[in-house]
């Protein structure tokens, strides 16, 4: 259980750090941009300039979407499992997230 707490704490720290970065205005940072090189099929390496503040905002939204998708999928899965056993009762998405993390730890996929 300590391992689960460590993972949750680490993830909460990452989200908090992203939230903090996303709260800045790009003008408030000395250099909020960095360049990313991509390799295209023709072998060239085009560059893109990325703003770290905008990237943090996009990552937070992506994390929220993934959390919702995982919770929704687990909800449907657990609902099907319980209905197949004749049980019908409401589920808490937060508890389902913890259930998913525990299952990942059990299978060592984390």
DSSP 70-105: HHHHHHHHHHHHHHHTT------HHHHHHHHHHHHH
Taking the CA atoms of 63, 18, 110 and 50 in sequence, report the sign of the dihedral they define: positive
Q: Which residue has the higher pLDDT, 42 or 99?
A: 42
Q: Alpha carbon 9 to chain centroid distance? A: 13
| Residue 2 banded pLDDT, cuts 50, 70, 90 | low
Q: Which residue has the higher pLDDT, 38 or 97?
A: 38
| Predicted TM-score of the model (pTM) | 0.58
The reported pLDDT for the residue numbered 86 is 61
């Amino acid at each position: 259980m300590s391992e689960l707490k460590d993972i949750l704490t680490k993830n909460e720290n990452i989200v908090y750090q992203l939230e903090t970065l996303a709260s800045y205005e790009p003008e408030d940072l000395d250099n909020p941009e960095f360049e990313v090189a991509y390799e295209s099929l023709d072998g060239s390496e085009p560059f893109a300039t990325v703003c770290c503040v905008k990237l943090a905002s996009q990552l937070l939204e992506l994390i929220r979407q993934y959390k919702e998708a995982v919770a929704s999928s687990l909800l449907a899965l657990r609902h099907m499992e319980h209905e197949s056993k004749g049980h019908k009762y409401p589920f808490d998405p937060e508890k389902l997230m913890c259930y998913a993390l525990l299952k990942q730890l059990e299978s060592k996929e984390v």
